[in-house]
Structures are given as structure tokens and as C-alpha cells.
Amino acid sequence: MINKSFQDHFILLGFSDRPKLEHILFVIVLIFYLITLVGNITIILVSLLDTRLHTPMYYFLTNLSFLDLCFTTSSIPQLLFNLKGPNKTISYLGCAIQLFMFLGLGGTECILLSVMAYDRFIAICKPLHYTVIMHPQICVQLVAMSWGIGLLNSLVMSPITMKLPRCGRCQVKHFLCEMPALIKMACVDTVVMESTVFILSVIIVLVPLSLILISYGYIAQTTVLRIKSVAGRRKAFNTCGSHLTVVSLFYGNIIYIYMQPGNNSSQDQGKFLTLFYNLVTPMLNPLIYTLRNKEEKSALNKLFWKEAGSYDK
């Protein structure tokens, strides 16, 4: 009976120990989520509708925006539901789906960000060969590889995590079904599990991050530092600056949460960091890329002026 009952549902405690904070968080999370939806959908539409943006860089950016939409939507609607009232339950199946999506989409974004760094490396260091190397078929294959690795990681880790014995425990000390929180609920020794998580984190997180840092280090050494004009350097830094900002925000939080022993970090701190990279980072991505990118701003202005002109007529 115990084994069956704990598999029926989980209780996402989230921020329930701070009832007053829940009401404030509901408003903040709702506003941020709506901005995230509008911003990323706008990026996708502009990149699809403006033919000038049918390039590899914007193809990857469109995929990143779509990924951020899915990543945020995998947990934020459930969080809003839990913040709104006393009911904090989520079904076993719902928890399993949320964990699968969270791991899969997070892993996919790690790989995709490294693909985008490779794109910038080719664009800056080998501009004459850019169209040959980054042809459409290669771009599709790179994106497919990103999704494949992310989903494969989730296919391996999600079932193992969900099958851990919990001896009737159903209270998840988090606002979503996240792997570290679910592992902590286990009533068996999880050293092997935690070691597996660490090894996969190195593959999914540190390897792509190392490739990103190597790419930009090579760009800085061989290209940017050799540009004599201030305007030329500024243009080169702007080209890479947006992507590096996004990488810093995304990887910084993931490394802190997944690549250190869970007992050493504050649970509240972990919740807010997860909320940051699950909501704030996807919200900031469109702003970062738009504000630092003249082509994107030009396309946005063109789209909005066109819409405004059609209404005037």
C-alpha cells in the first residue's frame, strides 16, 4: 500500500513555508512569464518573416527562443497554480513528464549554446568559408544533434530518478520535480546515483562550456585583439557579447546547482537559482539579443511599422 500510495502523487512544497511571499511571487512570476512568452515568440516571428534574417545565426537563435518557451512552460504554469492556492499536488505522471522535459530541454540548451559559439567562431575567424561550412543541411544536423543529446540524457536519467524507493515520502522540497530534490527524497543510499549525475553533468554541461570558452578564446586571440580600429573591435565584441552574456547566466546557475554536493547548498537558495535560470534567463535572452543586435532591431522596427501602417489604412 505504501509503495502504491507514494506513486499516486507528489506534493511540491515550493515556497509554502512563506505564505506572504507566495502572493508576491505569483504576481512577479506571472509578469515575467508573460514577458518571456511575448519576447521569445516575437524573436521567432521576426526571424521567420524577415528574409534578411534567414541565416545560420538567426536559425539557431530561433531554435533557442523555441527551446526557452518549452523550457519555461515545462514548470512555470504548475508553479503559478501552486502559488495561487493551497493545493500543491502534482500527479506521479505529471511529475515524471515535468522531470523529463526539464532535463531534456536543459540539456538541449547546453549543447545548442555551444553550437551557437561554433557558428560565431566560423563567422569571425573564417568569414570567407562561412557559407560553405555553415550551409543549411549542417545547421539542421547541428540542431538535431542538440535535441538528440538532450533528450537521450533525459531518457536515461528520468526513469532512474523516478524509480528510486522513497518509502512513502511524497513531499518534494522544491517548486518543481527537479532531479536533485527527488534524489534527496530517496530512502536508500544514492551515492552511485549522485556519481552518475555528476558524470553526466560533466558531459552535458562542462564539455559544451569548455568548447564555448575555447571558441571565444581563439576568437579573441586570433581575430579581435589584432583589429587595430576601436570601431572594429567594438563590432566584434558586440557580435559575441550577446551570446557570452546568455552563456554566463545559463551555465552559472546550472553549475552551482548540479555540480556540487546537494547537502552543501541552501534549499531556499537552490529554489531561487532554479527559478532564475528557468524563468529570468529565458526572459532576458530576447532582450539581450535584440538590444545588442542592429539587424534584429531593424527587423523589429520594420515589422511593427508595417503592422502600424496596415492599421492606418
Question: How large a percentage of the chain has pLDDT more than 90?
Answer: 30
Q: What is the pLDDT of residues 153-193, one digit of tens each?
A: 999 899 999 988 888 788 888 888 988 888 888 888 888 88
Half-sphere exposure of residue 90: CA atoms within 13 angstroms, side-chain side: 25
Only one residue has cell 518571456, namely 36
Q: Is the predicted pLDDT of residue 268 greater than 80, yes or no?
A: no
* Largest separation between any pair of C-alpha atoms in the chain: 73
Q: Is the predicted pLDDT of residue 308 greater than 90, yes or no?
A: no
Strand partners, 171: 11
Q: What is the pLDDT of residues 238-255, one digit of tens each?
A: 667 777 778 887 887 777
Q: Which amino acid is at 51?
A: T
- pLDDT of amino acid 5: 40
Q: What is the pLDDT of residues 6-19, one digit of tens each?
A: 457 899 988 877 88
Q: Is the predicted pLDDT of residue 4 greater than 70, yes or no?
A: no
105, 67 in Cβ contact below 8 A? yes
Among 210, 153, 203, CA closest to 179: 153
- pLDDT of amino acid 237: 66
Q: Which three cell numbers stand for residue 221?
A: 586571440
User: Cα-atom radius of gyration of the chain, to the nearest Å?
Assistant: 21
Q: What is the pLDDT of residues 75-117, one digit of tens each?
A: 999 999 988 878 888 999 999 999 999 999 999 999 999 999 8
- pLDDT of amino acid 104: 93
Lowest mean pLDDT among 151-165, 198-212, 223-237, 275-289: 223-237
Q: Is the predicted pLDDT of residue 260 greater than 70, yes or no?
A: no
* pLDDT interval class at 312 (50, 70, 90): very low
Q: Is the predicted pLDDT of residue 36 greater than 80, yes or no?
A: yes
Distance (Å, rounded) from C-alpha 10 to C-alpha 291? Answer: 41
Distance (Å, rounded) from C-alpha 300 to C-alpha 49? Answer: 10
CA distances from 208 to 146, 193, 229 (A): 11, 22, 32
Query: 19-49 vs 56-73: helix axis angle to the nearest 10?
Result: 150
Distance of CA 75 to the CA centre of its chain: 12
- pLDDT of amino acid 302: 66
Per-residue pLDDT, averaged over 56-80, amounts to: 92
Query: 207-222 vs 92-125: helix axis angle to the nearest 10?
Result: 20
Q: Is the predicted pLDDT of residue 263 greater than 60, yes or no?
A: no
Distance (Å, rounded) from C-alpha 72 to C-alpha 205? Answer: 19
**Domains contained in the chain, CATH given:** 2-312 (1.20.1070.10)
